[in-house]
Amino acid sequence: MATALPDDILHLLCEELARQECFDTLFNCACSSKSLAVPALTHLYRSHHLAPVRNGGEDEAVILPTKQLVVQRWSILWRSIIASSMNATLFPYCRYIRILDFRDLENLLEDDQFKGKVMKQFFSAPLDQVYKKQSKTFGNPSRQHVRLDVPAIIDAIGEVVTQHTPMLDTISGELLSHALVRWAPRLPRLQTLELKNGSPLEDELVHASIYEHCPQFNSLSIYTWTADERDHKLASFIGTVQPQSLRLIETFRDIGAGAETFLALNSHSETLKDLRLCVSSDSLPHLSLLRSCTALEAVRLEDSDGLTNLEKTQNDVFLEIVDWLRKCESLRRLSFSGFQSAASIVGRVMLEDKIKLRKLEIDSYLLKEHQLFHQALVNQRASLRFLSLSGDADGMFRDDVDILVDSLKQLAGLRVLKLLDFHEIFSDDHLIFIIDSLSLLEDIYVTGVEIKDGVLESAGRLENLRNVAFAGISKFTTDGLLEFISLLGPGNQGIRVMIDMADPATLLTETEIVLVKQSLWEKVGGVLDYVPYKDPDISEFEGDSD
C-alpha cells in the first residue's frame, strides 16, 4: 500500500500551485481524493482574487458566447463563496479566503451578460435572501424600470460573508460606513482597506471600530473622494490608527490630501514603507512636511495638475523634497508622474551612494534640460532592474542623445527597459548599442525613427527575453523576423512580440504574417501582435471618391 504524504506537505504543494496560478491543476487535485480536497480548495479559494474569470476575463476581443460562458463561471465563483457562508456547500470556501473584493462583485452584478438565466441561477436559494431590487421611473410616471440595487446587495452579502471569514485581511470596494462599523468586530486580522470612495472615513465610528477591533490594520488605499475638509478628515483617521503601524497609504486621484495628512503620517515614520500619493498644485508645496518619513522603500508621486515646476518657482520646497528623499536610505522604488521637477529631484537623489534603486519610473520631463539626470543613472547601475522613461524629446542635440545612450548602456543589471515617446531621437545604431549592452533584459519597450532588422537581431540574442514591443515606425522584413525567431531559445519560452507601427511601405502580407506567427509559436510558444502604422494626419475615411 502506498504511503500517503503528510498533510503539511500536501498544503505546501498546493500553496506552490496557487503561487503559480495553476487553478485548473488545483481543481483537479480537489476532485482526485479526500486527502487532497482540503489543501487544494484552501489554496484555490485563498487565491480566488487572482482567478482569470474575474472581471469577465477582461478581454474585450472574445466572442459573445465565450464572454457569456466566462461571466457564468465568474458568477459561480462568487455564488460558491456566498453560499458557503450560509452552510449550503460541501466545504466552507469562505473560511479560506483572505481577500474580499467587492469591486469585482459590483462589476459582475453590473455586467451586461449578467442577466436572464445567469442572474436567476445566481440568486436562487439560498442567495434569494440577498436579492435586492429598486424601481426607477423614466419619462412616463406609470412606467417603472426594475433593476438590481447593487449597493444594497453588496451590503447584504458582506453582512453574511464577514461572519464566516476568520482569515480575511483585505476588503476592497465601495463600502458603506455603517457596514464597516458592523463588520469590524468580526475582522481581527484585517490589515488592508481599499476604498473605492473615501466617504466612510468621514464617520468617526469607523475610526473607533477599526482602532478597537483591527489591531493589525496597516494599509489604506482610496480611489476617489469628494467632500469638504477631506484633508482634515483623512488626517483625523490616520491620527486614530495605532501609532507606528501604517505601512502603506495610496491615493489614486487627488482626494484633497495635503498639509494635515502629511503631518499626520509622521506619526508612522518608522513603519511607513510604501507611499503612493496623487497631489494637486495646492498640496504639492506641502510634500516636504513628510520629512520624518525616512523608512520608505517605495514612493510614487503623481501631480494631477502637472502645472508647477517647483525647482523654478519654489526652489526652497524643491530642495526640501530632495533632502527628504535623500535621507530615505532604504528607498528601492521611485515613481513620478506629471511632475515637472521629477528629473531634477531624482537626479540629485540618485547621487546619494546609500540609496540603491531597483525600480525607477519618470514621465513628463524635458530630456534636453536633464543631462545631469541621465548621467546620474550610472550611479545606480549596480542595483537598477526596472527603468521606464517617458518625456519630451524636442530640441535634443546629438550630444544630449549620446549622453543618454551612454548611460543606458552601463545599466547592465536591467531586466525591464521602457523608453516611451522617444520616436525622433533613437536610430537603429542607438537601440543596438543599448540592447547589446544589456544581456539580462526580459522586457523591452522601445521607440525609434525607423526600426529595422538589425534591432531584431540584437533582441533575439537576449536569452531571457519574454516581452518585446517596438512602438516606433518599423521596417521589419519577413526574413528579419524569421531570423529573430531562429535565435530564440528555452529562456524565451512564451515570448510576446508587439509591432505597433509597421511602415505601410514594407508591410508584410497576410500570408507572411501567418508564417511568422506560426514559426514563433512552434519555436517557443510565442505570440505576435502586428499592427500597421496609421498616419494621424490622414483620416481613415480618406480614399478614392465614389
Q: Is residue 421's pLDDT more than 60?
A: yes
Q: Is residue 437's pLDDT more than 60?
A: yes
Give the tens place of pLDDT for each residue, 192-222: 999 999 999 999 999 999 999 999 999 999 9
* Type of residue found at 105: L
Give the tens place of pLDDT for each residue, 55-98: 776 655 556 677 788 899 999 999 999 999 999 999 999 999 99
For residue 297, tell me if it sits in a domain.
no
The sign one gets for the Cα dihedral 62, 64, 67, 69 is negative
For residue 358, tell me if it sits in a domain.
no
For residue 306, tell me if it sits in a domain.
no
For residue 26, tell me if it sits in a domain.
yes
For residue 13, tell me if it sits in a domain.
yes
Cell of 356: 540603491
What is the greatest pairwise CA distance in the chain?
A: 81
pLDDT of residue 540: 46
Tell me which residue range forms the domain holding 36. 9-50
Q: How far apart are CA 10 and CA 507, in angstroms?
A: 53
Q: How many domains are contained in the chain?
A: 1
Give the tens place of pLDDT for each residue, 12-47: 988 999 899 898 898 899 898 888 898 999 999 999
Q: On the CB side of 155, how many CA atoms lie within 13 Å of its CA?
A: 15
Q: Is residue 538's pLDDT more than 60?
A: no
For residue 39, tell me if it sits in a domain.
yes
Task: Work out the number of other CB atoms within 10 angstroms of the CB of residue 80.
Answer: 16
Q: Which of 57-61, 231-235, 241-245, 499-503 has the lowest mean pLDDT?
A: 57-61
pTM of the model: 0.89
DSSP secondary structure, 311-363, as one string: HHH-HHHHHHHHHHHHT-TT--EEEEES-TTHHHHHHHHHT-TT---SEEEEE
For residue 19, tell me if it sits in a domain.
yes
Give the tens place of pLDDT for each residue, 471-521: 988 999 999 999 999 999 999 999 999 998 999 999 999 999 999 999 999
For residue 63, tell me if it sits in a domain.
no
